[in-house]
Amino acid sequence: MTEKIKELKAKLAGLEHEAANMRLGFMVASRQHGEAKAAMYLLAALSLTAARRAAVAVDNAVLATKKAAAAAKDVACIRP
């Protein structure tokens, strides 16, 4: 009977150790997940800012092209 109790105590100690290791692994994974999530949010925010700036740049390029075309037309009309 005492041998059986010793075996059960040893198994219990092993399971407690395994549970502690699993808890630690979960904490590490959870921290890494949080860091990755924060990085993705930052990347999305920066991408949105870049896209907005690119849209403004395209609008400015379109306006510059229209003005250049109008100026070229005026020059073409002045010169025979």
The whole-angstrom distance between residue 60's C-alpha and the CA centroid of its chain comes to 30
Give the span between the Cα atoms of 80 and 71, in whole angstroms: 16
Give the span between the Cα atoms of 77 and 17, in whole angstroms: 89
pLDDT (tens digit per residue) in 42-58 = 999 999 999 999 999 99
> Does the reported pTM lie above 0.85?
no
pLDDT (tens digit per residue) in 19-37 = 999 999 999 999 999 999 9
Tokens found for residue 27: 């904490």
Q: What is the DSSP string of 18-42?
A: HHHHHHHHHHHHHHHHHHHHHHHHH
